[in-house]
Structure 1
């Protein structure tokens, strides 16, 4: 019990710091705090932490691996949470992800759209989907982060919009580690905002912009992000995998 109390206090303190950072970033950008949603990325941390976060007011959590996410979502099924899937997604995992995820951030190809559509319909669910945008020139070679090239965003978006069981919600990106935007998250997020603006002329409801993590949430908020995905700043540094 003492460990639980200590962990809750640690998470509360970390959350307060992150909330202050978001509030300050919103103020600096002339935006209201209610314009930005915090998604806490709980990968590698136990369901017990998800429960503590929920007690502290967190309503949006994210995972990036289906096996871990499916088990954690099932264990926390009694909690009113919105589950976000933010990792690269193979088509053979679509059925599982569609059973628990409310929002899929990493849709980057028509084949995945088709798989998610069939899975969502089989589960009798509707999923919000974001087009993941790769702002580096060679996304697969650059760490395997995935994403559609900027010139392919419209094609993927149109496929989502036409698919049964899916709703086109907007766009997502991860600040690139290579290419012209490497080390320049502010410029990368400005480019994402341009892509989002263009997408909204064709799909006015696709207003969600998912960008920014623990290290660059301020730049994302300044560029108009509606959702920031924060993990280590809330939960602590993750151990390196050997």
Structure 2
């Protein structure tokens, strides 16, 4: 039976090969293990195999895992849609939020971040393919939101995140990823803290890395298919 550790080795090899093909370094890519719907034991196994960054979508489930695994050195990333009435527990428990899509959410996260914790790392979610069913700002709206976020005292704007339309061809996916990278590079000229492009998942991490991803969000390729009925 293939273990989580074996899966992580396979994903790490994919990252290594992708960075080599792109003329990049493997250490420039953070492997973010998407552990939503997976039990704390699975997170422990991935942590034992060397991973330190874990992404969660569902708040209550995530907090239970964060509290039960508080003795481990883990950076917790919130990567799900975020409603304004859920910002306080996110601000209190997470190290990163990838899905900031409006100033109201950013302001609440900053206001509710405990003063004894470092600033919360945030990414702006970009709806790069203008899908009606997805959250995120348009590429044209990124600059204004970034300017506003950088003025908030308890947040650090790190970059952009996207979830492109999965039904696109590989060349179309590459263009979507490329557009987010260009937008990030434009932000870097104004904001010194920008260093992150969160894009790419199990099925398209090679394309994302080729187009500039610095964080790839991998769930299925590490933990297997998710059991949503277990929530």
When the two structures are superposed, what TM-score results if normalisation uses the length of structure 1?
A: 0.89
Is the 1:99–1:123 contact (alpha carbons within 8 Å) kept by the matching residues of 2?
no
Question: Is 1:174 the counterpart of 2:163 in the alignment?
Answer: yes
Distance of 1:83 and 1:64 partners within structure 2: 11
CA drift of 1:164 comes to 1.3
Tell me which of 54, 74, 77 is aligned to 1:81.
74
Tell me which of 14, 20, 33 is aligned to 1:27.
20
Question: Is 1:39 the counterpart of 2:39 in the alignment?
Answer: no
Question: Secondary structure at the residue paired with 2:127?
Answer: coil
Distance of 2:163 and 2:30 partners within structure 1: 17
Question: Is 1:222 the counterpart of 2:210 in the alignment?
Answer: yes
Question: Is 1:163 the counterpart of 2:156 in the alignment?
Answer: no
Is the 1:38–1:229 contact (alpha carbons within 8 Å) kept by the matching residues of 2?
yes
Question: In structure 2, do the counterparts of structure 1 residues 100 and 191 end up closer, same or farther at CA, with 3 Å as the change threshold?
Answer: same
Distance of 1:147 and 1:34 partners within structure 2: 28
Provide the aligned C-alpha RMSD in A: 1.7
Deviations 1:85-135 (A, max 9, x none): 101101111100111110100001011111111111466441001011111
Q: Which runs of 5+ in 2 are unaligned?
A: none
Deviations 1:145-173 (A, max 9, x none): 31111111112111211001100111110
Within a 5 Å distance, the mapping from 1:139-154 to structure 2 comes to 139=131, 141-142=132-133, 145-154=134-143
Is the 2:129–2:176 contact (alpha carbons within 8 Å) kept by the matching residues of 1?
no
- Runs of 4+ in structure 1 displaced over 6 angstroms? none
Tell me which of 62, 65, 68 is aligned to 1:72.
65
Look up the match of 1:132: 125
Distance of 1:187 and 1:78 partners within structure 2: 42
When the two structures are superposed, what TM-score results if normalisation uses the length of structure 2?
A: 0.94
Question: In structure 2, do the counterparts of structure 1 residues 80 and 124 end up closer, same or farther at CA, with 3 Å as the change threshold?
Answer: closer
Tell me which of 208, 214, 226 is aligned to 1:238.
226
Distance of 1:201 and 1:93 partners within structure 2: 32
Deviations 1:39-65 (A, max 9, x none): 000000001111111111011000011
Is the 1:98–1:123 contact (alpha carbons within 8 Å) kept by the matching residues of 2?
no
Look up the match of 2:195: 207
Look up the match of 1:90: 83
